Amino acid sequence: MRTIAITSATGFDHVTPDGHPERVARLEAVSRALAPLSPREASPATREALLRVHDAAHIDQVFAASPSDGHVSLDADTWMSPGSLNAALHACGAVIEGVDAVLDGDAEAVFVGCRPPGHHAEPDRAMGFCLFNQIAIGALHALEVRGLGRVAVIDIDVHHGNGTEASAEREPRLFFASVHQGWIYPGTGAAHETGRHGNIANRPLPAGATGDTWHPALDELIEAVRAFQPDLLLVSAGFDAHKDDPLAGLALDEGDFARAGTALARLAQESAHSRLVCVLEGGYDCPALERSVAAFIGALQAA
């Protein structure tokens, strides 16, 4: 697939407290993996774009919390420094630009490598390192601004994307599918959660699961998305299911992420008009993150 990358240097200005796993070094690792693609620099999202997903009160709260110095805690896990708000806005803008790029034919696949991540942010609150839910914002941009009829999100992060699922609960044109480790943060994503519109599919896996278990679960989600017949495929590309990651307990390696990239690219080619936008979420062992992102992107390019 013709593949481009979009990132933002503002992500280096989102500085979390010492010892926090969602740290600047993550973007340094991802930037090294993306360097061969000569990434484009993103522009910030507008308030109007945020409002397609988030309640006005939540947006106002995040803006008001932005500190002039030091750190502010939004919850036990989610922190802001003076550069965090700008980084989050650019991360959302990057996904919108990625959606536009594949819809305009500039690329078939886009990898958005920005931080902070977004898939835990719910319509009315920040949580789990996430301020705004950029993949949901990209999906609603595709539906409301670009006029698509159906959009699907597959989340391969080790943690369930509760915020994106909450958006799917509100929007029947959005299909959300997630493979993740069950019974860890945020405690959602049970198999029985299918949504009032039937547009949600979850495959929780036990700790210690390897690719032998993970890939069949992903294949089930791929078939569910294929049946939905989306006009665009988005992927929450978290790499914290890697065996070296400190925040969870699955046992994938970079070869598994390459295999996933191939499968997701094939799905986009066959069922989503060769339109694929992948958005960085988790991945907290930086060497494993760099190797996994490089393997995943290599698979997209080769597809």
Contact 205, 181 (CB under 8 A): yes
**Lookup result for tokens 């679960």:** 217
Report how far residue 301's alpha carbon sits from residue 284's, in angstroms, rounded to the nearest whole number: 24
Task: Give me Rg for the CA atoms of the chain.
Answer: 17
Report how far residue 29's alpha carbon sits from residue 43's, in angstroms, rounded to the nearest whole number: 21
Alpha helices in the chain (DSSP H): 24-34, 47-51, 56-65, 84-103, 134-140, 162-170, 211-228, 254-271, 286-302
The answer to whether 197 is a known catalytic residue is: no
Q: Which residue in the list 14, 54, 90, 120 is annotated as catalytic?
A: 120
Q: How many Cα neighbours within 13 Å face the side chain of 111?
A: 31
E strand or H helix at 276? strand 276-280
Report how far residue 228's alpha carbon sits from residue 205's, in angstroms, rounded to the nearest whole number: 23
**Active centre residues (catalytic):** 120
